[in-house]
């Protein structure tokens, strides 16, 4: 996905009635749904709000709803959406894709941004339909379901970590068959902000019916500045691309067990000369 993914917009003119039957004033909010690289790491998107009215609007809860995703739910927030050309972001999780068929055949169902806004001591719910969110959400849905399909055939795990004489680490990415008999090829793997992963020799894979295959890698530090080491959100998230049979390669993640994470943490501190 590109550095800045698709932005999709909607505007709501939301009129409700209070208990007396008198219509409440509309809340003229505009919304866009965007995703940047930093959002991809945390499996989030941004509801980007603009206020076309005359007074600021305070949002105290937000939720992205779509039948194609589950498990996210609403988040509490305290976001003041100012008037004018200012855009205000609310970062929110989108959950996990609901896989109802082959991944590449899926299209995301319509999505709605549901906001709770506060006016004094009163709150009310505002629903912002996002009719043009389909391309972004379909991309996210298919990615989730492709990973699910690959996991039914094989998984990748980091194991066998051992220090080398030059201070780097030897390790193995182990492919383990979980189902099926198709061959599985590893076409690419990458490190993270803190670590590089470099294959040693040929990138082996699972032959048809083979249960396990080990791919030797060398691990080294990628960044040593204290800010990166201390603030990185997912240091052990290593992408790998696996191709099942003749299908295109699919991006998934290497499982890094807790014991391997401990070794990696100690390694980067030693390698970078950082305390503890």
**Contact assessment for residue 201 and residue 214, using Cβ atoms and an 8 Å cutoff:** no
Class of domain 8-148: mainly beta
Pick the residue with more confidence: 230 or 177? 177
**Predicted local distance difference test score (pLDDT) of residue 16:** 40
The tokens for 202 are 């040929």
Angle at the Cα of 179 from the Cα atoms of 235 and 245, rounded to 5 degrees: 85
Going by C-alpha positions, the residue among 227, 224, 253 that lies closest to residue 241 is: 253
Residues linked to residue 44 through DSSP beta bridges, in sequence order:
93
Mean pLDDT of 26-31: 86
The per-residue pLDDT for range 52-77, each reduced to its tens digit, is 999 999 999 999 999 999 999 999 99
> CATH code for 152-272?
2.60.40
For residue 225, give every residue at least 6 positions away whose Cβ sits within 8 Å of its Cβ, in sequence order, or none.
none
Mean pLDDT of 31-53: 92
**Contact assessment for residue 7 and residue 130, using Cβ atoms and an 8 Å cutoff:** no
Three-state SS sequence of the chain: CCCECCCEEEECCCCCECCCCCECCCCCEEEEEECEHHHHHHCEEEEEEEECCCCCEEEEEEEEECCCEECCCCEEEEEEECECCCCEEEEEECCEECCCCCHHHCCCCCEEEEEEEEECCEEEEEEEEECCCHHHHHHHHHHHHHHHHHHCCEEEEEEEEEECCCCCEEEEEEEEECCCCCCEEEEEECCCCCEEEEECCCCCEECCCCCEEEEEEEEEECCCCHHHHHHCCCCCCEEEEEEECCCCCEEEEEECCHHHHHHHHHHHHHHHCCCC
**Predicted local distance difference test score (pLDDT) of residue 13:** 41
The tokens for 13 are 């003119």
The per-residue pLDDT for range 110-156, each reduced to its tens digit, is 999 999 999 888 999 999 988 789 999 999 999 999 999 999 999 99
pLDDT class for 24, splitting at 50, 70, 90?
A: low
Pick the residue with more confidence: 182 or 30? 182
The span from the CA of 178 to the CA of 158, in Å, is 16
**Predicted local distance difference test score (pLDDT) of residue 114:** 96
Mean pLDDT of 230-238: 86
**Contact assessment for residue 226 and residue 269, using Cβ atoms and an 8 Å cutoff:** no
pLDDT class for 8, splitting at 50, 70, 90?
A: very low
Supply the mean pLDDT for the chain. 89
Question: Does pLDDT of 158 surpass 60?
Answer: yes
Pick from 5-9, 27-31, 35-39: least confident: 5-9
Mean pLDDT of 252-269: 95
**Predicted local distance difference test score (pLDDT) of residue 129:** 85
Q: What percent of the chain has pLDDT over 90?
A: 76
The span from the CA of 211 to the CA of 242, in Å, is 15
pLDDT class for 19, splitting at 50, 70, 90?
A: very low
> How do the domains of the chain map onto residue ranges?
8-148, 152-272
Answer yes or no: same fold for 8-148 and 152-272.
yes
pLDDT class for 234, splitting at 50, 70, 90?
A: confident
């Amino acid at each position: 996905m590109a550095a800045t993914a698709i932005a999709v917009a909607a505007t709501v003119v939301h009129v409700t009635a209070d208990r007396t039957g008198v219509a409440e004033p509309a809340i003229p909010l505009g919304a866009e749904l965007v995703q940047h690289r930093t959002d991809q790491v945390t499996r989030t998107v941004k509801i980007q709000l603009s206020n076309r009215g005359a007074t600021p609007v305070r949002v105290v809860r937000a939720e992205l709803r779509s039948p194609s995703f589950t498990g996210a739910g609403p988040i509490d927030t305290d976001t003041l959406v100012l008037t004018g050309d200012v855009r205000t972001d609310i970062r929110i999780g989108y959950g996990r894709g609901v896989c109802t068929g082959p991944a590449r055949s899926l299209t995301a169902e319509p999505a709605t941004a549901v906001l709770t806004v506060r006016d004094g001591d009163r709150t009310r719910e505002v629903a912002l339909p996002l009719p043009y969110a389909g391309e972004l959400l379909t991309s996210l849905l298919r990615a989730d379901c492709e990973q699910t399909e690959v996991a039914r055939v094989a998984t990748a795990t980091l194991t066998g970590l051992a220090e080398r004489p030059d201070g780097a680490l030897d390790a193995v990415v182990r492919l383990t068959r979980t189902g099926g008999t198709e061959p599985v090829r590893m076409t690419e793997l990458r490190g993270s902000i803190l670590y590089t992963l470099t294959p040693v020799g040929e990138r082996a894979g699972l032959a048809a019916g083979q249960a396990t295959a080990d791919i030797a890698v060398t691990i080294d530090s990628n960044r040593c500045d204290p800010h990166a080491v201390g603030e990185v959100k997912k240091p052990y998230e290593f992408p790998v691309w696996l191709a099942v049979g003749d299908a295109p390669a699919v991006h998934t993640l290497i499982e890094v067990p807790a014991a391997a994470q401990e070794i990696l943490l100690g390694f980067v501190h030693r390698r970078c000369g950082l305390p503890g």
